[in-house]
């Protein structure tokens, strides 16, 4: 089975802090994704990566950056956290396009 | 842009009842995916459909890929309390894109 592991289930940070969310997958998948999920808005793509050191902006990249130094690890960075970034963050991976994405358990992030 | 219209938004049913939900689009897709998300967890892939007209089962779940390739249906038979959660349809955008488009979800509540 595919395993996508997110480093924290719950995280509380303060406004202005730099926040790192980590995601690791164990299936040698090429593609990795970061989403945020908010009530009424569904899943929205922040960034994705199709190879090591490669990244592309999703639909809502503002206020975020990403890093993919190794194939199995994809990090989401909130450069200066703000309260409107309080959300559920989901990481996903897939072997190639047109294949199902497999999700981690999510990180519920609260910015105070 | 491409959208998936999922209905109903929510369902309240009694244990033992059958459930039907669907996803429609004005665009054609080559793959349809159905996920379930339980409270506080990440989405889990239930069924993947790759061929128009395909009917696939996973236990009490059955999903169909519409003939027009613009819709998909998910049925749950003899519901049980652990079926509660949010069910999402999703489809890869295709054309070499790694992105998925998601429905807004159907929230299922099962009364014992």
Q: How far does B94 lie from chain A, in Å, by closest CA?
A: 6
Residue of B44, B88, B98 with shortest CB distance to A97: B98
Q: Which residues of B touch A94 (CB under 8 A)?
A: 98
A10 touches chain B (CB under 8 A): no
Q: Coil, strand, or helix at residue B83?
A: helix
For the segment A19-67, what is each residue's pLDDT rounded down to a tens digit?
999 999 999 999 999 999 998 888 999 999 999 999 999 999 999 999 9
* CB-based burial label for A15 (10 Å; 0-12, 13-18, 19+): exposed
For the segment B35-90, what is each residue's pLDDT rounded down to a tens digit?
999 988 999 999 999 999 999 999 999 999 999 999 999 999 999 999 999 999 99
A102 touches chain B (CB under 8 A): yes
Q: Which residues contact A44 (CB under 8 A, 6 or more apart)?
A: A35, A36, A37, A38, A58, A59, A60
């Amino acid at each position: 089975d595919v395993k996508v592991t997110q480093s924290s289930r719950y995280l509380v940070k303060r406004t202005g802090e730099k926040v790192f969310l980590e995601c690791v997958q164990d299936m040698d998948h090429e593609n990795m994704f970061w989403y945020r999920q908010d009530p009424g808005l569904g899943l929205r793509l922040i960034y994705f990566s199709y190879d090591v050191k490669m990244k592309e902006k999703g639909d809502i990249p503002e206020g975020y950056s990403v890093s993919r130094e190794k194939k199995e690890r994809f990090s989401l960075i909130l450069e200066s956290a703000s309260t409107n970034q309080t959300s559920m963050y989901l990481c996903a991976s897939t072997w190639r396009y047109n294949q199902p994405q497999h999700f981690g358990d999510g990180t519920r992030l609260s910015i105070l | 842009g491409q959208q998936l219209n999922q209905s109903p938004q929510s369902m309240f049913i009694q244990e033992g009842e059958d459930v039907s939900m669907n996803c429609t689009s004005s665009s054609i897709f080559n793959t349809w995916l159905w996920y379930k998300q339980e409270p506080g967890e990440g989405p889990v892939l239930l069924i993947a459909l790759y061929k128009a007209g395909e009917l696939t089962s996973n236990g009490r779940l059955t999903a169909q890929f519409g003939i027009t390739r613009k819709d998909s249906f998910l049925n749950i038979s003899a519901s049980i309390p652990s079926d509660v959660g949010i069910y999402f349809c999703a489809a890869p955008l295709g054309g070499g894109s790694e992105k998925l488009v998601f429905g807004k979800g159907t929230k299922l509540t099962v009364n014992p």
